[in-house]
A and B are shown apart, each in its own frame.
Chain A
């Protein structure tokens, strides 16, 4: 059981030292193995910065980021990242993209291609292996991106609005897919989104961020994702009373922040 933890983390960008509020202030967050934490907040609340910190792309201005107590000094293959704009390499085929993390580790060609093929089957794209990235639809690209992330056998899967650029129909299907991947891989998932519905459907825990400075204002535990994995269809969950109530609650929370700024 691994734990990714952020202890009292503050992030300031060097340019605005002192003058403006920090991007993120006093963030305390833990992500356990097997958990699905969704971070939601209005734009400017530092969602993506939070993910960059967890991934190790940026270092905190103060505070501590650690995995099982060991401080994180940079990006590492234990924390795979899925990007909003897929970040697949256009000069590689879908298969080679998935095999890329293994190539970096020096896994022999035949072995890594075989494993990449299995991963493509697992994300439902057995026929996409030799296709170029630009020949794939947005939803397929994100599936390849997730397969590539899984190829590094991560302990944590960090996803930055992975469904943000997709149309509503594809989005709905991909939410079920992400839950499935999360369950079968047993990773600790951290997902950034601005969709309340998505947050409630996927998360075991929803973290609400508020801007100026970016800070955690609320934390809600949900079980809708697990209900879906246990067999409840997404449409039924979405129309259930419990879901509607939490949806309203979350909307009010984020809306309240708006009023707070206007005042």
Chain B
């Protein structure tokens, strides 16, 4: 009797569980994830100001959040080492996107060659596998010997760091193209080039975009290193010079700016993904 009383409610509950799934327009999750993350940030800021106001740590090592905020204001208006924050940031962004353009223009065709042809894989695979594990700082001096200390060497180093993820993700994307999709195009009379352009490339696009996201991360971390040498502008250069004069608030402000820009990159990349390859998450 108790069994028969217990089982009907669970049956009644079942449809509700389904309604609470991710497809539903009105999810009833207890607390949005963003709120938890926001609360964490606020708590960290609070602890930071507490540590600063009670003088637990010398301001030389950890200036208060207020001091960092003032430093940011100062950076934006008057600047640091002969350039405003915007000028530093633009110098860095030009390097990043210049390098990204080079890396995509080189990496996608190389990835396609590796993914589609045995010959291409044979020739290019060892080169990529040689480059991939090298830390950018290891080849930075060589690139400077070759290209000098101007913009070219900085962009080259960042592009070299971005290349492997783009190449490998393109090659992986090519392999993910469905055989039926390729065969369908062949049955409609597509040439090899048409199959590549109309089937393989779109199939690989989601993977290429993921690779681009990873490449942006790699490029961003290489940027700071590249700007250590003979730069007069750039976020990495700004932090480095501030550190030499022990202007800790500018160092922290610079770090926060870099983190914020990287965050915006990531969000933009995700939006782009949703807009360009909406099918990759469905189907």
Contacts and interface: CB of A to CB of B under 8 A. Distances in A.
A85 interface: yes
Contact of B181 (A74, A89, A132, A158): A89
Interface stretch (A38-46, A98-106, A218-226): A98-106
A40 B283 CA distance: 29
A57 interface: yes
Given A87-B178, A91-B279, A134-B283, A104 B184 contact: no
B17 interface: no
A233 interface: no
Contact of A74 (B186, B278, B282): B186
B22 to A, nearest CB: 15
B269 interface: no
The binding surface of chain B is classed by DSSP as helix
A91 B202 contact: yes
Nearest to B199: A89
A76 interface: yes
A90 interface: yes
Interface in A62-79: 74-77, 79
Given A90-B283, A104-B198, A77 B183 contact: no
A148 B202 CA distance: 18
A5 interface: no
Interface string B182-196: 011111111000100
A83 interface: yes
Interface of A: 55-57, 74-77, 79-81, 83, 85, 87, 89-91, 100-101, 103-105, 132-134, 148, 152, 158
30 contacts: A57-B186, A57-B187, A75-B183, A75-B186, A75-B189, A76-B187, A77-B189, A81-B187, A83-B180, A87-B178, A87-B184, A89-B198, A89-B202, A90-B279, A90-B282, A90-B283, A91-B277, A100-B185, A103-B198, A104-B185, A104-B189, A104-B190, A132-B278, A132-B279, A133-B283, A134-B279, A134-B282, A134-B283, A148-B184, A152-B188
